[in-house]
Amino acid sequence: MAQDALDYFLHALGALFRIRRIYPSGTRQVLQSAKQASQKLAEWGRPVRIAFLGNDTIVEDRRIGTIPVSFRALFQSLQQLGFESVQIEADTGEEDLTAWVENVISKSRIPYRSSKIVAGSLNLERRAEPDSALTQAVTGYMGFLAEAQEVLSDLESKKPEGLVRAREVVCAIVARLAVGRELFEPIREMKNFDDYTFTHALNVCVLSSALAQALQVSDEMVSAIATAALCHDLGKKEVPKEILNHNGPLDPKGWLLMEKHPTCGARLLLDIPGVESSNPLLPVVAYQHHMGVNQSGYPKVQKNLPQYTLHFASLLVSIADVYDALRTVRPYRPALTVAKAATILIKDTLAGKLHKEYVSKFLLMLNVLAPGRGVVLSDGSSGMIVETHAGYPLCPMVSDEQGRVRDLSEPSAPTICEVGEDSTGDPQRMPAAEQPIPSPRPPL
């Protein structure tokens, strides 16, 4: 199989690296393993592209969950040296392979470029030939990330030009989402790129925009929500870094500081000239994004303000915010899988913290509740989704262990309380096609 040929090459390349570290250059063992690697590459017959993105390793379009021992040492060295991308031509000979391996062993951090091998950073070392869809998506994402970083830095300094740039970036993001969902892929598949603050802001922006588009709100409102989502955590600027990156649960004093970021963010945004007239949603979403539908979150609403309701934009952003936080590696825990993150969204929805219809739409968008997915129900039984009601994805038809099909949309039926891991094992699946839900249009 073609995939096997690629695996054999990677094993042979890893062996060359290990053997060269044991034996001096030019010895029989090194020459033999270089020859072996070159032969395996020729059998694969195509260029090989390896990318390291945060904690993820991608070979061609495939994410490698656990790197096999045979080439783990090589890949770990590349990552430690700061290489994000390696491209090896199909006709690379044993000498070129050996020269590059020598360079890795010498611990050089300088981008490497020979006629057959290019290694360096993801953005700088792109080759002329067309990239894979995933690489294109990642590169596009990284471009937006750099722009988002500049916009947020401007806004943190309360520069009004940040608002203009934010609108430009958001328009570009929304336009890309309208054409296709490729911006989704890096967010869906890669858990962490680099700096949490900026990747989180961009992820929440893209996810909120996609959710708003799926809910068929006006284009103008999608852009306003996207901008507000991009700026939702600006108040974290006022939270000490030790608290933000605290390794473990926060103590009450730490929480008190953390819980101030929505108020700080709203205040910071209101201080930027022109915000109230040009984008009044920005401070609203920054202030409300942790409140929760049932207002069990923070900041607490004063008791003398009856019937305080959250703007629907804040409800959308809060779903994207919770989801992205769960899917990202944090100093105190690993990233959760899509299924585990979806389970927590469902639990938060049942607890009244998140908006049920918007969460339904979000899970539909992520293709989490598709037929074939295993689920655990609130009565303790488990089963598999066999059919999804377009308007009520949280209440699908589920076949139980005895083969009985239960309709979870019936009033007495149990609810889904846990989503099983994706049984297809296909991490590259794109979200399902959009199905409009027959719910009333959200209040604008």
**Can you give the binding site for Fe ion, defined by CB under 5 A?**
233, 321
Residue 422 has φ and ψ, to the nearest 5°, of: -65, 115
CA 150 to chain CA centroid, nearest Å: 20
Q: What angle do CA 280, 286, 288 make, to 5 degrees?
A: 100
Nearer to Fe ion among residue 82 and residue 240 (C-beta): 240
**Cα 196 from chain centroid?**
11
CB of 434 to Fe ion, least distance (A): 25
- Distance in Å, CB of 142 to Fe ion, minimum: 20
CA 320, 321, 326, 328 torsion: positive or negative?
A: positive
Q: For the residues of 208-277, what is the DSSP string, one character each?
A: HHHHHHHTT--HHHHHHHHHHHHTTTGGGGGS-HHHHT-SSPPPHHHHHHHTTHHHHHHHHHHTSTTHHH
Closer Cβ to Fe ion, 10 or 345, answer by number:
345
Structure tokens given for 56? 């993820």
Q: How far is the CB of 229 from Fe ion (least distance, A)?
A: 9
Residues forming beta bridges with residue 119, ordered by sequence position: 86, 112
**Residue 88: which of 125, 56, 57 has the closest Cα?**
125
In 3D space, the residue among 234, 356, 209 whose CA is nearest the CA of residue 289 turns out to be 234
> For residues 107 and 241, which CB has a smaller minimum distance to Fe ion in the complex?
241
Question: By C-beta, is 260 or 347 nearer to Fe ion?
Answer: 260
* Nearest residue (CB) to Fe ion, 12 versus 291: 291
Cβ neighbours of 444 (radius 10 Å): 11
Q: Is the Cβ of residue 9 or residue 287 nearer to Fe ion in the bound state? A: 287
Which of 289/361 has CB closer to Fe ion?
Answer: 289
Q: How far is the CB of 289 from Fe ion (least distance, A)?
A: 6
Name residue 71's amino acid. F
Unique residue bearing structure tokens 């984008």: 279
Amino acid in position 429: R
CB contact at 8 A, 189 and 138: no
User: Please, which residue, 321 or 357, has the CB nearer to Fe ion?
Assistant: 321
**Shortest Å distance, C-beta 149 to Fe ion:** 16
Structure tokens at 207: 């996810």
Tell me the sheet residues that pair with 113: 118
Tokens at residue 125, please?
């070392």
The dihedral sign for the CA sequence 362, 365, 366, 370: positive
Helix (H, G, I), strand (E, B) or coil at 377: strand
For Fe ion, give the closer residue by CB, 35 or 330.
330
**Shortest distance (Å) from residue 10 CB to Fe ion:** 37
Residue 254 or 391: the one with the smaller Cβ distance to Fe ion is 254
With vertex at residue 32, the alpha carbon angle to CA 28 and CA 37, rounded to the nearest 5 degrees, is: 150
Degrees to nearest 5, angle at CA 285 with 242 and 345:
75
Task: Give least dist CB 78 to Fe ion, A.
Answer: 32
Toward Fe ion, which CB reaches closer, 94 or 233?
Answer: 233
Pairing of strands 85-88, 48-53: antiparallel
